[in-house]
Amino acid sequence: MKLTLQTLFFSATCALFAGQALADEPRRPECIAPAAPGGGFDLTCKLAQSALVQEKLLSSPMRVTYMPGGIGAVAYNAVVAQRPADEGTITAFSSGSLLNLAQGKFGRFDESAVKWLAAVGTSYGAIAVRADSPYKTLDDLLAAIKKNPGSVVIGAGGTVGSQDWMQTAMVAKAGGIDPKQMRYVAMEGGGELATALLGGHIQVASTDIADSVPHVEAGDMRILAVLADKRLPGETVSEIPTAKEQGYDVEWPVIRGFYVGPKVTDEAYAWWKDAFDKLLASDDFKKLREDRELYPFAMTGDELDAYVKERVAHYRGMAKEFGLTQ
């Protein structure tokens, strides 16, 4: 093949423009976990922290910072209002974040205020008790609540209307109990929730499977039900019954992922999207995800943006059904 000077110049120009399509790697990568250490947001950030370096998609370590408040509201407002163009920062979100957005709990900002980047896995809601609890099944728990609603203190990440509250409210409704009769204590994230349960300050925790399995394996906690459509795979979790098999038709998947600020450049956004696309296709990442009791759910870019907006619309309907909004 004969190469002319013009051909070489054209090829070099194309390569230059292709290289400019993606921004450079962020110099100080950061993941904001919008809660105290130890819960699902922390787990999500640390998964990205480990995987992006292991797959050599980041050459410098990603730091994890904590910004608790309002189950994501403080972080969301900080990113949108104060750090909208911070190209090195990704922030963790979950289905609970979307539920709160649906109820207007994030203040003046709605689901269109950020750029949704990537969803990297899913967990499932779970109803947990201490290992020495008298409640062995959902029937045991609901019978105790029916007998004396005030005697059973249920901890939930967030106040009435939060994801954790909604999980237990759905189980209660399926069992013929008015959720408003139940006694709730609001917590800030999964770490605080587990501490309160294991310390005996609450009798029940509305949580998720990923947060709970380490405590189950340590022998401190028992899960009465996982809110999945069928039993989950894995040595520990396969022994945990679903709510459905106990007669309560309740499911609650907990999607976990990341967003970036609204003024992050298209080039920087494309760099992050490309990094997560490569990550999600990696077998090594699948192992890291499984080690954290997360299950397959991979979505980036425009596909994730459409999914988020559909979920928020769905949650608005649920919030209205439970009397949380007008």
The residue-averaged pLDDT of 132-161 equals 92
For 188-209, the pLDDT digits (tens) are 777 788 899 999 999 999 998 9
pLDDT on residue 7: 46
Give the tens place of pLDDT for each residue, 240-251.
999 999 999 999
189, 35 contact by CB (below 8 A) = yes
Least confident of 29-43, 124-138, 261-275: 29-43
Contact of 274 with 268, CB cutoff 8 Å: no
Q: Where are the beta strands (DSSP E) in 148-274?
A: 153-157, 183-187, 204-208, 221-226, 253-260
In three-state secondary structure terms, 147 is: helix
pLDDT, tens digit (0-9, with 9 covering 90-100), for 289-306? 998 889 999 999 999 999
pLDDT at 70: 83
Question: From CA 158, how far away is CA 156, in angstroms rounded?
Answer: 6
**Structural domains of the chain sorted by starting position, each given as residue range(s) with its CATH number in brackets:** 29-122+254-321 (3.40.190.150), 124-252 (3.40.190.10)
Q: What's residue 11's pLDDT? A: 46
Residue 307: pLDDT above 90?
Answer: yes
**Model confidence at 6: pLDDT above 80:** no
| Residue 210: exposure state from Cβ atoms within 10 A (0-12, 13-18, ≥19) | buried
The percent of residues in the chain predicted with pLDDT above 70, rounded, is 92
pLDDT at 191: 79
> Mean pLDDT over all residues of the chain?
90
Measure the CA–CA gap between 172 and 179, rounded to whole angstroms.
6
DSSP string, 246-277: GT-----EEEEEEEE-TTS-HHHHHHHHHHHH
Q: What share of the chain is helix, strand, coil (3-state, %, to 5)?
A: 45, 20, 35
Digit-coded pLDDT (tens) for 11-49: 444 444 444 455 789 989 999 999 989 888 999 999 999
Model confidence over 50-79: pLDDT tens digits? 999 999 999 989 999 999 988 789 999 999
Is 325 or 319 the better-scoring residue by pLDDT?
A: 319
Instruction: Give the containing element (helix H, strand E) for 212.
Output: helix 209-217
* CA dist., res. 297 & res. 275, Å (int): 16
* Bridge partners, 257 (sequence order): 93, 119
End-to-end CA distance of the chain: 71
pLDDT of 308 reads 98
Would you say residue 9 has pLDDT above 50? Answer: no
pLDDT at 326 (0 to 100): 59
Q: pLDDT at position 22, please? A: 58
Q: Who wins on pLDDT, 46 or 158?
A: 46
Q: What average pLDDT score do residues 104-133 get?
A: 96
Q: Which residue has the higher pLDDT, 109 or 189?
A: 109
Higher pLDDT among residues 167 and 11, named by residue: 167
